[in-house]
């Protein structure tokens, strides 16, 4: 079955019977849903990371530590609200508000299920939809960056400004690769409406024929939400807490809340664009078709979204933070060129299928395999030369060449430490000499 027939069979969201009070109920439900999922995410992340790192995690506040997030929220609510003396008071307060509002706005166009009957009215399990819904999602993600940049700049402090600048460079770099990965979904689905993209995945999910774009999106979404191993804007060992260093009480809580809501956002987008949205998995949808309709859709959407949430928790527990040069190289030299190449491949596939009668998933799978082989060859050919080359060893390195200390570049050796010869002398010195 082709994409158009699948979209006609399952159909996009139908808002013809929507009423204003039903829209208000959906909006309130989304707010409660996101807040409860953030509370659940805090508990799941702490318990999961604790188990992976051989420690118990929260186990005191309530049974199994279930009330730990509630205790943290109460602490932040009653904590002293501090303001820095030189900060721009208006922007200092506006920044976390922008970050939180943009984070909560993304779920407005996420389809959580098909049309169901609520109080006798047929309505989709989605607040709103539009022909450019995915562009709306990318726009909200970009506007949320202003909350981070303004937070760092308005603090009038060095470390928050460093974190804000890092975050702006990070979001720009990884939103490019993320956006191009999503463009391949637009080409295959023929639409940018989230409900129609889900309807086009009624027979097969885009994570299979568009596997390279799916992998690029998975990497980019972790960088987009500043999670390990890409949490450079909040690197505690370097810049304390990045743009949030000078924030306390509920202003800090808004940033903290927006970070976890953004994790839910990118997980929901991955579910919608690549994982079939609210559709049931293949064996269940074939043998139990009634579980691929109605309120069951919300259950499948919830489970898929939390699968991606758990992946981010897993990476935090297992991977170390990148160096900043490695991080930017991955974005600009790897992900963006690969996503551009894959976008050309998908465009060629769509052009071929317009003139040649061939099964679309098979054609995309063949070209995807060739593409992956080419990418692997390019990856290894682009590896840097051996750092132990004699020409690099002879290169002089001046740590104060620009008037301030700078680290050595690859292939350069730092000068010997003036304290290097003190340890052997101290070890051989007699008691009287000491």
- Collapsed DSSP state (helix, strand, coil) of residue 408: coil
Average pLDDT over residues 76-101: 82
Max mean pLDDT among 79-93, 132-146, 159-173 falls in 132-146
391 Rama sector, left if φ>0, alpha if ψ -120 to 50, beta otherwise: alpha
pLDDT number for residue 389: 46
pLDDT at 211 over 60: yes
Summarised one tens digit per residue, pLDDT across range 229-263 is: 887 777 666 667 777 777 878 888 888 888 899 99
Residue 306's pLDDT band (boundaries 50, 70, 90)? very high
Residue 343's pLDDT band (boundaries 50, 70, 90)? confident
- Tokens 């191009």 belong to 180
Q: With b meaning 16 or more CB within 10 Å and e meaning fewer, what string describes 112-131? A: bbbbbeeeeeebbbbbbbee
pLDDT at 287 over 90: no
Torsion on CA atoms 314, 270, 274, 197, rounded to nearest 10: 170
pLDDT at 271 over 90: yes
pLDDT at 4 over 70: no
pLDDT number for residue 386: 47
pLDDT number for residue 169: 82
Q: What are the residues facing 122 on neighbouring strands?
A: 117
Residue 31's pLDDT band (boundaries 50, 70, 90)? very high
Average pLDDT over residues 14-29: 87
pLDDT at 269 over 90: yes
Average pLDDT over residues 72-94: 80
Question: In angstroms, rounded to a whole number, what is the distance separating the alpha carbons of residues 2 and 128?
Answer: 27
pLDDT at 279 over 90: no
Average pLDDT over residues 39-48: 88
For residue 97, give Cα distances in angstroms to 22, 86, 231, 262: 26, 20, 21, 14
- Choose between 397 and 387: higher pLDDT: 397
Instruction: Say if CB 205 and CB 334 are below 8 A apart.
Output: no
What is the widest separation between alpha-carbon atoms in the chain?
Answer: 95
Summarised one tens digit per residue, pLDDT across range 102-150 is: 899 999 999 988 888 888 888 888 888 888 888 999 888 888 888 888 8
Domain locations along the chain: 3-381
């Amino acid at each position: 079955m082709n994409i158009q027939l699948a979209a006609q069979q399952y159909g996009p969201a139908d808002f013809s019977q929507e009423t204003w009070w039903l829209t208000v109920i959906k909006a309130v439900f989304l707010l409660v849903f996101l807040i409860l999922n953030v509370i659940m995410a805090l508990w799941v992340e702490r318990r999961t990371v604790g188990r992976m790192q051989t420690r118990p995690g929260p186990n005191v506040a309530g049974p199994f530590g279930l009330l730990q997030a509630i205790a943290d929220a109460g602490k932040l609510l009653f904590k002293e609200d501090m303001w820095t003396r030189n900060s721009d008071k208006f922007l200092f307060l506006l920044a976390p508000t922008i970050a939180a509002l943009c984070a909560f706005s993304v779920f407005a166009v996420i389809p959580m299920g098909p049309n169901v009957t609520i109080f006798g009215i047929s309505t989709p399990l989605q607040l709103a939809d539009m022909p450019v819904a995915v562009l709306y999602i990318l726009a909200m993600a970009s506007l949320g960056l202003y909350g981070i940049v303004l937070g760092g700049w308005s603090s009038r402090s060095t470390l928050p400004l460093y974190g804000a600048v890092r975050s702006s460079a990070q979001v720009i770099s990884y939103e490019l690769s993320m956006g191009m990965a999503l463009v391949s979904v637009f080409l295959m689905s023929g639409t940018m409406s989230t409900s129609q993209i889900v309807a086009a995945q009624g027979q097969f999910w885009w994570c299979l024929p568009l596997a390279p774009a799916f992998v690029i999106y998975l990497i980019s979404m972790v960088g987009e939400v500043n999670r390990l191993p890409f949490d450079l804007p909040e690197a505690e060992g370097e810049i304390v807490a990045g743009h949030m260093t000078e924030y306390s009480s509920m202003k800090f809580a808004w940033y903290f809340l927006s970070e976890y809501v953004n994790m839910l956002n990118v997980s929901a987008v991955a579910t919608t664009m690549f994982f079939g949205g609210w559709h049931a998995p293949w064996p269940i949808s074939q043998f139990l078709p009634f579980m691929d309709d109605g309120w069951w859709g919300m259950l499948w959407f919830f489970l898929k979204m939390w699968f991606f949430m758990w992946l981010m928790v897993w990476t935090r527990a297992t991977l170390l933070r990148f160096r900043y040069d490695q991080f930017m190289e991955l974005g600009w030299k790897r992900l963006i060129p690969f996503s551009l190449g894959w976008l050309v491949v998908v465009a060629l596939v769509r052009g071929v299928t317009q003139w040649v009668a061939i099964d679309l998933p098979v054609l995309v799978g063949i070209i995807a395999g060739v593409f992956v082989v080419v990418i692997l060859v390019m990856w290894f050919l682009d590896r840097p030369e051996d750092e132990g080359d004699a020409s690099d060893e002879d290169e002089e390195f001046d740590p104060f060449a620009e008037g301030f200390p700078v680290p050595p570049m690859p292939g350069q050796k730092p000068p010997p430490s003036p304290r290097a010869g003190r340890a052997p002398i101290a070890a051989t010195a007699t008691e009287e000499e000491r």
